[in-house]
Copies of this chain bind each other. A is one copy, B any other.
Amino acid sequence: MVKYCFGIDVGGTTVKCGFFSVDGEVLEKWEIPTRTENNGENILPDIAKSINEKLEEKKIDKAEVAGVGIGVPGPVNDNGEVPCAVNLHWGYKNLVKEMEEMTGLKTKAGNDANVAALGEMWRGSGVGYHNLVMVTLGTGIGGGIIVNEKIITGSHGAGGEIGHAHVEDSIDTPCNCGNCGCLEQVASATGIAYLARKMMEESDEASVIRRDNVSAKTVFDGVKAGDELAKKVAEKFGYYLGKALANFACVTDPEAFVIGGGVSKAGDIILDYIRPHYQKYAFKSCKDAAFVIAKLGNDAGIYGAAKLVLE
């Protein structure tokens, strides 16, 4: 009888591993290092070894295991192939085929941001929603689009690459993607720091955020302390993000937006800056979409990966 599955989240430095019951309880979590040397050739064998060892340790037969779900930092197509994953030093890799051969277990793979969205839907702040958009506000902006409980992968694995929506014509510094004026340049942690530096240069207003290493945290700490300049930065961030989310809502009409990533650690206050702009620009039927802060944190990936293989 099938009782268990694995959820694996492959990051650039660490692989997070989860051993789950099929009803979504995490029974054990551990980490292994991500060995990126030699084009990351050890990454998948290391994961397979860790899985096989875990099953031996627990004396669990593979017939009791539904399979292995894996999230990776890069595009993954519907056949489980990865064209390339820069942070893992991978070129093309037939991930699902290799893992199935090494483990003898059914494997499903997805992009890490998409998989995190699935995790939040299954066991996080998105519980009860079947259609949602997850927005991960970190160094960059990741996105995951869920429609009828399924990830939208896209025809090139670029479904949910919402950090690269164009939102500002006046920016002429290129984003990591090569374009200029991407959402990620003005609404990620890096983007909020950029807005803060720009607004500090443009005014003489005294502010607690005037320091050498202004960050998204500095800004939202300032907002909580009632700092006016910090509030203006937060307002600008909310304008860009809220307006962009309103435009995405025209496409898939989600029930909810789940906001995660490092910036979301500031808490519900960031929603107070996003929601009013969203509601101003959203199509009337979409204006009541819920906004919630993600709650699984760094575990969203292992939960979503587990869910991937249980589908």
Contacts and interface: CB of A to CB of B under 8 A. Distances in A.
Given A252-B159, A253-B159, A75 B247 contact: no
A277 to B, nearest CB: 10
Interface in A268-294: 280-281, 283-286, 289
A300 interface: no
A131 interface: yes
A244 B251 CA distance: 11
Nearest to A281: B166
Contacts of A166: 243, 246-247, 281
Interface string A139-181: 0000101010000111111111111111000000000011100
A155 B247 contact: no
A161 B253 contact: yes
Nearest to A181: B281
Contact of A156 (B157, B161, B253): B253
Contact of A152 (B75, B130, B157, B252): B252
A248 interface: yes
A163 B285 CA distance: 13
Interface string A224-258: 00000000000000000001101111111111000
